[in-house]
Each structure stands twice: as C-alpha cells, then as structure tokens.
Amino acid sequence: MVLENFDDCGELFTSLSGENNHRKMQKAWFYEEHGPPEVLQLGYLPIPSPKENQILVHVRAAALNPIDFKLRQKSCVATTFPVVPGCDMAGVVVAKGDAITKFCIGDGVYGNIQNFNAEGNIKQLGVLAEFILVEGDLVARKPENLSFEEAASLPVALQTAVEGFKVAGFNKGQTVFIVGGAGGVGTLAVQLAKRFYGASLVTATTSTPKVEFVKGLGADKVIDYRKTKYEEVEERYDLVYDTIGDSKYSYVVAKDDMPIIDITWPPSNPRAIHSGLTVSGDVLEKLRPYLESGKLKAVIDPRSPFHFCDVINAFRYLETGRARGKVVVSPFPS
C-alpha cells in the first residue's frame, strides 16, 4: 500500500488502524522501477520475522551511500521489486533468532546490513524502513557516547576506509595522499591514517570552502584542488588513497611502484587497485576504543539529519556530490 498524501507528514506518525495491523505492517520507502529519486514511494510493507541467526532492529537513524542510489538508478544485480534502499543503520534490537547470544532485546546496535561480498545476499529490505532484519555478525553494539545518527553514519564508510589501508599493506610511519578528504570515506580515511595507522604525513585534497574542515580532521597538509594540480605537488607518497575515482590523474603523486587504491569501480587508472569493503561487525568492534575516546569521530553533513518524510530530498542532495561527511536520515517513525 502506498501513502498517496505525502504532503501531510502527520500521516507518517499516526498508527495504522487497528492494533493487529500495526503489528504486521510498517512504513517504508521503496521503489518498483529503476530511475531517479522520484521513483521512491512511501508506503506500508510487512514487518519481517528474524531467522535463527538474525535480529530484528527498530531503526532509529540511517545513512545514505552512493551504492544506494547506484543500485536504484540501474541495478547490477538481480532485482526483485519492491526494493527498500539503504545499508547503514543504527537502532534497537526488538526480536532475535535462537542462535543470537551476543545481543539482548533492547540493545542499541549499528552496522551495514548489506553484505555485498556474499553472493546473492543483497537484501530486498534495506534500512529505510521502521524495522529491518540483519545477521548478528554484521552489526556491533552502539558505543554509548554516540548518538544513533552518529552511529548510523559510520559502517559502510568506516569499513571501506579500513579495507583500503588493509589492501595497500599500509605501515606505521608511511605517508599517504588522500583524494577527496571531505567525503564520507575521506573524512574517516584522514582520521584513521593519523590516529589508527600512524602515518607520518597525511595530505588530503578538497575544495576551497572545506580546507579548514579537513585540516581539523587531522590532515597535515590540505590541497585545494581548485588551485593546485596533481602535477604541482612536490612530495611523493607511499600510498595514494583515491576516494572519488580520480586515479587517472592522481597517480602522479605516488612514489614509484607504491600502491594506488581506488574505491570506485572500475578504477580510472589501470595501475590502481580496487578496494571494496569487508562487511563485519568485528571491524566496528575493533575501532570501538577509538570511537569511545573521541580519537575517531563521526562526520555528518551540516544539512543532516533529513527527516524520514524527506528521503527524496536527501537522495537529491547526496547525488550532487557536495556533501561534507555523511547524509543521515532521522528521526524515523516511533
């Protein structure tokens, strides 16, 4: 069932008629054809039940990622409609399968629910719904000091950032040049390089208005790409970490034979190594001390959070490529 009167957002937060209906159905954003943000519809879908190794989470906040709109625009995998988009969430466990022992009802959790490395495991029900199912090993307990919005902003970007350094074999004391230091992955790559991996020199690129912002993340040097070309950079780096797919040009700042990581697909330079992500709650747990101590901080775009009513505009904004940090959706229906 589709909600036809979207202009009246009050409808979103009224319960369905009848207690039994409310227990069975939930509000969700979904699409039934590929295309622009306008193909998204707001309606009601059934609330799923957890299998043995799954938890059912009441979503409190979600974050949007480029993969979400790329799958909506033109899917590269077999698609069964309707599809609820979204990977990143934070919420509260409300039910669980018998095999789940590390989480209890009422626990705050966060994670990326889509394990892209598992063949045929792209979930039809993503996170832009009141309730979602996720395997217990894909999520972690939410750090107490993080809001649901902050926690939701982290999983995909954090897992991607970590994977890039891992694929490159980055070592303490090496230098790194990060292309796109103000984006969702870039903001975390800058912080990780300095505070987790122990880089001796972290340089990042960004646009003029974001230079001071990226410096505040811990970059030793920030290059305004509107004023300086790659060929004009004097230093040569042990790792070029390209978060925006510019490796066709950015490779020139790498030392001879040193790795170039490109998180986009396909990489724009044949020399570049594509880096995806390892989807696991263990990655988030490993970084818990850094999140709880404040050494690693979530970065949410200043225009966020977008209300659950405003998901289409949230996607429109994300697709401009101008976001600073992550685009977050919150609050969700209670």
**CA atoms of 285 and 291, how far apart (whole Å):** 10
CATH of span 157-274: 3.40.50.720
CA 316 to chain CA centroid, Å, is 16
CB 86 within 8 A of CB 67: no
User: Residue 21 pLDDT > 50, yes or no?
Assistant: no
User: Residue 4 pLDDT > 80, yes or no?
Assistant: no
**CA atoms of 183 and 158, how far apart (whole Å):** 12
User: Residue 28 pLDDT > 70, yes or no?
Assistant: yes
**CA atoms of 115 and 180, how far apart (whole Å):** 25
pTM, two decimals, is: 0.91
**CA atoms of 159 and 140, how far apart (whole Å):** 13
Percent of the chain exceeding pLDDT 90 equals 84
CA 309 to chain CA centroid, Å, is 20
**CA atoms of 19 and 333, how far apart (whole Å):** 16
Residue 15's pLDDT band (boundaries 50, 70, 90)? very low
The partner residues of 237 in beta bridges, in order of sequence, read: 254
Q: Are strands 327-329 and 273-274 parallel, antiparallel or unpaired?
A: unpaired
**Helix, strand and coil percent figures for the chain, each rounded to 5:** 30, 25, 45
Residue 195's CB is within 10 A of a number of other CB atoms, namely 17
Mean of pLDDT values over 80-97: 96
Please provide the average confidence, as pLDDT, over all residues in the chain. Answer: 91
DSSP 47: P
**CA atoms of 213 and 104, how far apart (whole Å):** 39
CB 131 within 8 A of CB 83: no
Mean of pLDDT values over 283-307: 96
pLDDT at 280: 95
**CA atoms of 143 and 62, how far apart (whole Å):** 16
Q: Where are the domains of the chain?
A: 9-154+298-329, 157-274
**CA atoms of 311 and 54, how far apart (whole Å):** 26
pLDDT at 96: 97
pLDDT at 74: 86
The answer regarding whether domain 9-154+298-329 maps to CATH 3.40.50.300 reads no
Residues 6+ apart with CB under 8 A from 232: none
Mean of pLDDT values over 167-174: 97
Q: Which residue, among 297, 291, 186, has the nearest Cα to 244 in the 3D structure? A: 186
pLDDT at 32: 96
pLDDT at 24: 87
CB 217 within 8 A of CB 233: no
Per mean pLDDT, which range of 9-13, 88-92, 141-145 is the poorest?
9-13
